[in-house]
Every structure is written in C-alpha cells, then in structure tokens.
Amino acid sequence: MVSVFVCEDNPRYCQFVSECIKNRLMLDRVEMELVLSTSDPAEIIERIRSKNIYGLYFLDIELGDGLNGLDLAQQIREHDPNGAIVFITSHSQYLPLTFKHKVEALDYVQKGNDEEVQKHIIECIERVSKKQVARDEKRYHFKIPNGGEDSCRYDDILFFEADPSVPHRIILHTKRLTYAHYQRLEKLEKELPASFFFKCHRSYIVNLTNLTETCKHELVQGKNGVTMPNGAVCKVSAGNKKALIKYMEVSLGMKK
C-alpha cells in the first residue's frame, strides 16, 4: 500500500490537490491511500517517523514560516528513502534547487492551470502505482522445512543471515516475520538481483532498498552492523562499510 501525503499552506490549493488525488483513487483499485493533507511539515515527519512507509508526497516548495518544501523533502528521505516526491510551486526558478538538494523528485508541477496540474497529479499517481505493482511482483521463493514452498516480496525482505549453528540454514528476516530454510549463502547471492541485495558480510546479505538514515549513522559511527526497521541487526564487515555508506548517499539520497 502506498501512503499519499499533501503539504500545502494555501487552504484552497491544499483542498484542490487532495480532491484530485481522491477522485483518481476512486476510479479503480489503486493500492494507495490519502493519509494526510496538511500545511504543517512537522505533521508529515511525525506520521512517517519510525514506520515502514512507502509514500507519494505532493509538496509545495513555499510553505511560509519554518521548513520549506525542499527542507521537508530532505527529512522525508531520511525516513522513506524510496518514497516518490512531487514538488508543486508557482515559481519555476526553484527547479534548480531540487537538484541541489539531491532529493530526486519524481515530478515538478507548475501552479497556474488547474487542468494541467490535475493531469500531472494523475500521471504521478499512475507512475507510482505501476512501480508498486512491479515491486509486488518481484518475489523471493523458497522451500520450507515441511516440504512446501513459500514466498515474500523483495521489498519486505530486510536481510538474510547464515545460521551459525546449522550448516546451510538461512534465516530470512522480513519486516514482520522470520523464516528458516536451507540454502547455501553463496548460491543465494548469485540468484538474488544485485539491484536489491548486497553481501555485506560473509554471513549476511542485506536488502539495499530497506536501509535507513539510522543505518548510515551507525556505520559512520564505526559500528559493525546496521539496525533494520524491525530492530534486528545485520552485520557489516569492515571492508564493506564504505561501499554501503556511499550507496546510501548516492542512490538513496541521504545526506553526506
């Protein structure tokens, strides 16, 4: 499920954007929900803090006092590194600043023509919806001890751990559950897509897309592992720390 957020300090325009989103979501079974429309950036940060959220964010760049939309986008990236951010503004001169802040915006919508704005909003929703479907279709299939089979989505996987007490037994840590199955870690590494997974330790394979700002901070502080969103710790070897930090800064848009 994709959580949709709107942050706009003009009440009329906030309602307009929200209604465009609601009307599109009602048309068919899009796996999205409009969670919050607000003029206060702090409300969005509070809602996504310490939660496993994949969000679509429509942000006005000029938010009056306090944080502007670019500052808010940077904070969103710390909690939802894979979220889709759309900037909405009246001033085209702000476009270069979105690249300077390295927040990888999905789109940049110019206020003015309501029909054009609505068209952009619908296009953004459809692009994120297709991306979510593709994410859901990517699954890891494995055999369970009773002889049956099970599977889970790639984006639900946090990391794989080679069980030190049982040869060739793999502990699969997901956002909600933990599974045990038999597989060689070396073979598993070859089967998993490198765009999602990275062997960060001789006994661990981490899901790159579920790394957080907390993970980066722990590595920078010299720790030998990262705490994943469910509280479990995935070990990281000394030789792989720099590579993971670099990945989080470049690919996930985290601050240096």
Residue 128 shares a structural domain with residue 150: no
The tens digit of pLDDT for each residue in 127-146 reads 998 887 666 667 888 887 77
CA dist., res. 194 & res. 71, Å (int): 31
Residue 9 shares a structural domain with residue 130: yes
Whether 255 maps to a domain, the answer reads: no
pLDDT surpasses 80 at 55 = yes
Residue 223 shares a structural domain with residue 129: no
- The phi-psi region of residue 197 (left if phi > 0; otherwise alpha if psi is between -120 and 50; otherwise beta) is beta
Question: Which residues are within 8 A (CB) of 52 and not within 5 positions of it... i.e. 6 or more apart?
Answer: 175, 210, 229
Q: Name the token pair of 115.
A: 């029909």
CATH value at residue 190: 2.40.50.1020
- Percentage of the chain surpassing pLDDT 70? 88
What is the average pLDDT across 225-241? 95
Please count the structural domains in the chain.
2
Residue 132 shares a structural domain with residue 145: no
Residue 181 shares a structural domain with residue 124: no
pLDDT range class, residue 224, cuts 50, 70, 90: very high
Residue 95 shares a structural domain with residue 78: yes
Whether 62 maps to a domain, the answer reads: yes
pLDDT of residue 100: 52
Of 120, 136, 152, the last residue of a domain is 136
Whether 87 maps to a domain, the answer reads: yes
pLDDT of residue 106: 81
Segments forming the whole domain that contains residue 237: 140-250
Q: Name the token pair of 212.
A: 């957080």
Whether 245 maps to a domain, the answer reads: yes
Whether 85 maps to a domain, the answer reads: yes
CATH value at residue 114: 3.40.50.2300
Of 114, 136, 158, the last residue of a domain is 136
Whether 256 maps to a domain, the answer reads: no
Residue 93 shares a structural domain with residue 159: no
pLDDT of residue 237: 97
